[in-house]
Amino acid sequence: MIRPHLPRHGSCVTIQAIIFDQTVTLMNDSTPTKEERILQVMRQVLTKIAKDTYTRPGHRHPLTDETVNDIRHCLGLITARESELNTAAGREMNARPRFIDEPQSSVVVPLTVPGKKDKDKQ
């Protein structure tokens, strides 16, 4: 289960949410159901709230600890339901967040085709 990381700094709470790519690629090229679209939008809204209410350590957070825990719980429930729907539809949940500074899993190597050598210049 993927959750936002909520480190505690003294009496304040800092929300550091990983914003996921919200596009869903379905294995069988079917369109998402209404429930799947609702779950996607709810995930987007909750993670945007976490991002928009981010405060620096030492500053008072605008959300209460209870609200932050409720957001965390909602994101967990959304992930669990998405997992159930994907299992029922025979799809795999293999998407994972990708960070900008994370090395690529594949390496592109440019290949240069050697030009035709002149026999006179050898």
Q: What is the pLDDT of residues 80-122, one digit of tens each?
A: 999 999 888 888 777 677 777 877 777 777 787 777 665 555 5
Q: Are 105 and 80 in contact (CB under 8 A)?
A: no
Domain boundaries, the chain: 8-89
Question: Model confidence at 11, in pLDDT bands (50, 70, 90)?
Answer: very low
- In angstroms, the CA 63 to CA 69 distance is 10
Token digits of residue 112: 């240069």
Phi/psi region, residue 11 (left: phi>0; alpha: psi -120 to 50; beta: rest), is: alpha
Q: Which tens digits make up the pLDDT trace of 29-63?
A: 468 899 999 999 999 999 999 999 998 888 998 99
Q: What is the mean pLDDT of residues 71-88?
A: 93
> Hey, which residues does 105 pair with through a beta bridge?
none
- In angstroms, the CA 117 to CA 26 distance is 50
> The whole model's pTM is what?
0.54
